[in-house]
Structure 1
Amino acid sequence: MSQSRHNEMDFRALVGEVQPLRRGHDRADAGRSHRAPSEAQLARRESAARGADERDMLSDDFVDLVPPFDPLEFRRDGIQQGVVERLRHGGYAAQASLHLLRRPLEECRRVLPAFLREAREHDLRSVLIIHGRGREIDSPPNVLRSYLAKWLVAFDEVQAFASASQGEGGLGATWVMLRKSERARAANRERQQKRRG
């Protein structure tokens, strides 16, 4: 008798006779009613999944550190350089701000997506993120600043960003221009049509 056959016989002796469960007649399921999840449950599930997706999107594995005295700047295709210049010089009013000073990197990674999502839901276009700037390339504020530059690019709603002017936080703060929501675009089209008559 082979070793595997001997092991199988030992197993059967230990377990005894077994019968497969019939589908749909499980005793554990007998008392449960199979209802569809409520709208609130679906919304909570979607929110949790979206939060996990956003955090996964914002990797904190590796980042090229930005030198502490270099300004941050980014613009998507189709955004004019003049918009970035106006953004950098405070030409757009800060409609909201997020303070990340002295916060742990993981907390910043968690609050940034929620802040940007809420700003977009409220049709905000220009927001200011205050993060600080260290004097050394590997100082915590500069590490956060470097990650922030990497993370902001990952959001489709971010059209451009630029370091603030000296009076608004300098290299320790970043202006962010968000894409117009569909609701804001529709309102803008309606205003222009009324002007034309």
Structure 2
Amino acid sequence: MTQSVRNDSDRDQRQDQSFRTLMGDVRPISRARNRADPGRASKGPSDAQLARRESAAAEPGGRDFLSDDFVDLVPPFDPLEYRRDGIQHGVVDRLRHGGYAVQAQLHLLRRPLEECRRTLPSFIQDAYAHDLRSVLVIHGRGQSIDSPPNVLRSYLAKWLVQFPEVQAFVSASQADGGLGATWVMLRKSDRARANNRERQQKRRG
């Protein structure tokens, strides 16, 4: 009985050694690949990031859309869709199917992420200032979740909700670019609402 136990122990030790030899330098994965990290090495923001944030805050209407350096990645075949409270589903459906005229387009395809971050605020704010309601952002879509176009698409979904001017956004139909483009609905400006009230009052006499 004692000899049998010793033989079993020796066999287990040999198996453990063989397993470690086969595994070699294999290491367990430390985190899931469903979050994008543009390269920050430490947990705190860098001096350059802090300077950009202070500069954005000092500018009129300035906003820092990368307050943290991570974004939850959207699966490449999942459409984007968002609407604020009070916006009807019918508006989003009409937007999705190209039921509103393209009043302006922003092309972000193959642009660096930082350039897109700088370009988007001025585009949204200029469109709102000119009383535009429906605009199209073209960004592309990659085949894998961590491809550059899909990372940009994921950041776009994160950034757009931070604009008070944005009422809704949704991935476009195939005719307008499919998952590689996003329709954005902007709210009416105070000037546009005042003009509408004035026109309605004139009709009523």
Question: TM-score, normalised on structure 1?
Answer: 0.73
Whether 1:121 aligns to 2:161 is no
Which consecutive segments of 4 or more residues in structure 1 shift more than 6 A?
Answer: none
Q: Match for 2:89 among 75, 81, 89? A: 81
Contact 1:72 1:174 in 2 (8 A): yes
Change (3 A) 1:123 1:52: closer
Q: Match for 1:61 among 69, 74, 78? A: 69
Q: Residue by residue, what CA displacement relative to the aligned partner does 1:111-162 show, whole Å, maximum 9, x if unpaired? A: 0001111111111111000000001000000000000000000001000000
Contact 1:60 1:147 in 2 (8 A): no
Change (3 A) 1:149 1:47: closer
Contact 2:65 2:117 in 1 (8 A): no
Q: Which runs of 5+ in 2 are unaligned?
A: 1-54
What residue in structure 2 maps to residue 169 of structure 1? Answer: 177
Question: TM-score, normalised on structure 2?
Answer: 0.70
Q: Match for 2:59 among 47, 50, 55? A: 50
Q: Match for 2:161 among 148, 153, 167? A: 153
Q: Which runs of 5+ in 1 are unaligned?
A: 1-45
Structure with bigger gyration radius:
1
Letter of the 1:50 partner, please give it: E
Whether 1:185 aligns to 2:193 is yes
Identity of aligned residues (%): 80
Q: Match for 2:152 among 138, 144, 169? A: 144
CA distance in 2, matches of 1:76, 1:61: 25
Aligned Cα root-mean-square deviation (Å): 1.8
